[in-house]
Amino acid sequence: MTLLGNLIWLVFGGIFIFLHYAVSGVLLLLTIIGIPFAVQIFKLAVLSLWPFGKTIVDRGGGSGCLGVIMNILWLLLGGIWISIHHLVWAILLGITIVGLPFAKQHIKLAGLALVPFGKDIE
């Protein structure tokens, strides 16, 4: 089921989400300050390419004080808008029964987009 879900996801928009995140990550890599944020964007890119069957887990011990500061900066500089974007897609997809599994994946992406520092994808 996860393979079928991932293939449908990929064909109907997942590749575009992945490309958007990948290009954004590469652009952030061009700056010194943007490198930690680029790592988080690439985390979102990987999850947006093949989301079914993957889970988001908190790293043991947390990410410390720096992680909290980086999450606040992330949230203020665009994380809230990325998260809202995924939530809007989740609501639109959740209207239909067929779209419910895809809405769940957008909610997963929204959670990671809100505070990505200190989280891993398994």
CB atoms within 10 A of CB 53: 11
Q: pLDDT tens-digit profile of 66-109? A: 888 999 999 999 899 999 999 999 999 999 999 999 999 999 99
Q: Determine contact, residues 105/9, Cβ cutoff 8 Å.
A: yes
CB atoms within 10 A of CB 22: 17
Q: Determine contact, residues 63/118, Cβ cutoff 8 Å.
A: yes
Q: At CA 32, angle to CA 49 and CA 40, rounded to 5?
A: 25
pTM above 0.75, yes or no: yes
